[in-house]
Amino acid sequence: MKEQRRKIAVAHPALLGNEKKYVQECLETCWISSAGRFIPLFEREFACFCGVEHAVACDTGTSAIHLILAALNVSAGDEVIVPTLTFVATANAVQYCGARPVFADSEPTTMNIDPNKIEELITPNTRGIVVVHLYGHPAEMDQVREIARWHNLFVVEDAAEAHGAQYRGRTVGSIGDAASFSFYGNKIITTGEGGMVTTPDRDLAERVRLLRGQGMHPERRYWFPVVGYNYRMTNIQAAIGLAQLERVDEHLAARRRVAEWYGHYLRPFEDSLRLPVEELWAHHAYWMYTVILKDSVEFERDAVMQELAADGIETRPVFFPMHMLPPYHGSGGKYPVAEALAGRGISLPTHALLTEEDAAYVAERLGMLCQTARKRTTWSGAAI
């Protein structure tokens, strides 16, 4: 029987700073709900981190996308173009508004939305484009923004997985009309649950703030000029977030270090694995170090993941493309690149507490499996 090694988690929060001190202050002062000094502090510091004027904290990253779309008056009959390869929240937020998500295929290098597939999807009903910086690598924003400008569309960045990533020297969250971030427990910085909207547009920020708090007028208590949502962040969450943000450079450096370790130890297996790329114009945040099992080697991805789990190594499959999920099945279109990436992609343990010994072990086990495992089922995606 195989000896069980200690479990290597796919993600783990790194609470190494003032988190406990700031939360204790919330408890001692009884500011534990959606008011208190940490909320505006966290918003201000996060806006500064992204290089943008306005940031609005909320309860989840999904809420952040929904608030942006609602503030942009997306509604029934509208269409919003989103990548099919993303976490389901991106598409769901469009659906919450009564609009229809229209899916675009991926480009194979960074796994992000393929800008060359966007224009063919635009119709008279198209209102905007949501771009996802998948797994921490920024999307090709200039091309997307040019298409949007030409067709008078908004551009929203879903930066849930990309805190601190940069596109041509600009931090994500400052490039589109607005951006959403997630602070779930597995993200680069965390508040447990939580989200943030960033935007350079004061009017849009004020609209997001109004909608976030049930639509209550900011200067007339209990007067509600619009139907809003209860999407507020608590002071306790913001306290944790502020402490995390104070050490964000360390969090980001730790993930790059993990990526460098994996790059070194997996290099001998590049005949079987495609390692993450970092385009010359990009600064990868490495939320997840995601490898693609090459189609030149016959094996089945899920079987490899099961073997890794038996070795105590937790992994995650690449997201199912949206068009394959029951709520969005039958949306039409062909998405061969996204399907191939989803069928062969594995996200390896990636977090600030991972050691070089851990990374070397994961790489060794994965590399050995790639040399011996055989495909037990077939995947219909294209070669990548």
Q: Is residue 384 part of a domain?
A: no
* Residue 167 and residue 143 in contact, taking contact as beta carbons nearer than 8 Å: no
Is 190 found in the same domain as 74? yes
Q: Is residue 54 part of a domain?
A: yes
Q: Is residue 120 part of a domain?
A: yes
Domain that holds residue 54: 19-246
Would you place residue 4 in the very low, low, confident or very high pLDDT band (cuts 50, 70, 90)?
low
Summarised one tens digit per residue, pLDDT across range 68-104 is: 999 999 999 999 999 999 999 999 999 999 999 999 9
* Residue 176 and residue 200 in contact, taking contact as beta carbons nearer than 8 Å: no
* Residue 174 and residue 54 in contact, taking contact as beta carbons nearer than 8 Å: no
Taking residues 195-204, report their average pLDDT: 98
Report the pLDDT value the prediction gives residue 299, as an integer from 0 to 100.
66
Residue from 108, 163, 164 nearest 140 by CA: 108
Among 245-259, 266-280, 324-338, name the one with the lowest average pLDDT. Answer: 324-338
Please state, rounded to an integer, the average pLDDT across all residues of the chain. 94
Task: Estimate the crossing angle of helix 38-50 against helix 235-246, to 10 degrees.
Answer: 40
Angstrom distance (rounded) from CA 171 to CA 47: 11
Total number of domains constituting the chain = 2
**Most distant pair of Cα atoms in the chain: their distance:** 69
Is 136 found in the same domain as 92? yes
User: Across the beta sheet with 170-171, what order do the strands follow?
Assistant: 170-171, 166-167, 282-283
Strands 79-83 and 126-132 turn out to be parallel
Residue with tokens 């390692």: 275
Beta-carbon contacts of residue 195 (< 8 Å; ≥ 6 apart)? 57, 58, 59, 60, 61, 62, 63, 64, 160, 180, 181, 182, 183, 233
Instruction: Using alpha carbons, list the distances in angstroms from residue 327 to 74, 78, 165, 332.
Output: 20, 18, 31, 13
Summarised one tens digit per residue, pLDDT across range 338-360 is: 999 999 999 999 999 999 999 99
Taking residues 265-270, report their average pLDDT: 96
Angstrom distance (rounded) from CA 224 to CA 363: 56
Q: Is residue 13 part of a domain?
A: no
* Residue 339 and residue 322 in contact, taking contact as beta carbons nearer than 8 Å: no
Q: 246, 270, 288 — which closes off a domain? A: 246
Is 268 found in the same domain as 242? no
Instruction: Using alpha carbons, list the distances in angstroms from residue 237 to 36, 246, 286, 355.
Output: 11, 14, 23, 28
- Measured from the Cβ of residue 48, the count of other Cβ atoms closer than 10 Å reads 12
Angstrom distance (rounded) from CA 277 to CA 279: 6
Is 331 found in the same domain as 240? no
Task: Kindly tell me if the per-residue pLDDT of 382 is higher than 90.
Answer: no
- With 0-12 / 13-18 / 19 or more C-beta atoms within 10 angstroms meaning exposed / middle / buried, residue 143 is middle
Summarised one tens digit per residue, pLDDT across range 225-264 is: 999 999 999 999 999 999 999 999 999 999 999 999 999 9
Is 84 found in the same domain as 30? yes
Q: 246, 271, 306 — which closes off a domain? A: 246
Summarised one tens digit per residue, pLDDT across range 184-193 is: 999 999 999 9
Task: Kindly tell me if the per-residue pLDDT of 383 is higher than 60.
Answer: no
Q: Is residue 9 part of a domain?
A: no
Is 115 found in the same domain as 103? yes
Q: Is residue 269 part of a domain?
A: yes
Is 326 found in the same domain as 236? no
